[in-house]
Amino acid sequence: MGSDLIDNGIEGLAVETLLERGLPLGVKAPFFLRWLGFRLNLYQPSLGNKIRIARLYLKMNIPDRILDQATLQEADDVLVKHAFTIAKIVAIGCLKGYLWPLLFSGILARWLMWNRTPQQLQGYADLLILYSGTGAFMNTTRCIRNARISAPTLGQNPKRS
């Protein structure tokens, strides 16, 4: 999946559009969510939920060496320590708003761990991380830095005492 989707602008735009509307996960939602009227779709997270996802991702703090050249024991250790975190990232991507992810992301994460394969969870997490709008946020930050909103313009004279 990864870089070839990013390189192709049309496919990347299609995935972003699908995430905005909600990408069905292909499984029925747990009963408690169906009872509340939820469908299990993966959405592009709002900025607040993107921050929640980023915090969870940063808390994992997995060294690059382990990600690149892990032994079987190290891989199992990472699995045990961080499987719930990955499932929670996907659960936050399935729930919109401020309150729903706060209340139900833990329960939905546990349900996802028992009803989805590791490959499926990885695919969902990849979609969320790649297309969740971090690039747009960084571009906005760069534009603000380059605009230098607080710097005096050419026509203004700095006050002197």
Alpha helical stretches, state H, 8-133: 9-21, 31-35, 47-60, 64-69, 72-94, 99-115, 118-130
- Examine residue 120 and state whether it is found in any structural domain, yes or no: yes
Tokens matching residue 121: 């969870």
Q: How far is CA 10 from the centre of its chain?
A: 21
Residue 12 lies in a domain: no
The whole-chain average pLDDT of the chain stands at 80
Q: Which of 9, 23, 14, 7 is nearest to 125 (CA)?
A: 23
Tell me the pLDDT tens digit for each residue of 76-89.
888 899 999 999 99
How many domains does the structure of the chain reveal? 1
Instruction: Report d(CA 118, CA 108) in Å as an integer.
Output: 15
Residue 161 lies in a domain: no
Q: Which two tokens stand for residue 32?
A: 């408690």
Enclosing domain of residue 127: 28-133
Is 65 within a domain?
yes
- Tens digits of residue pLDDT in 78-130: 889 999 999 999 999 888 889 989 998 999 999 999 988 989 888 888 888 77
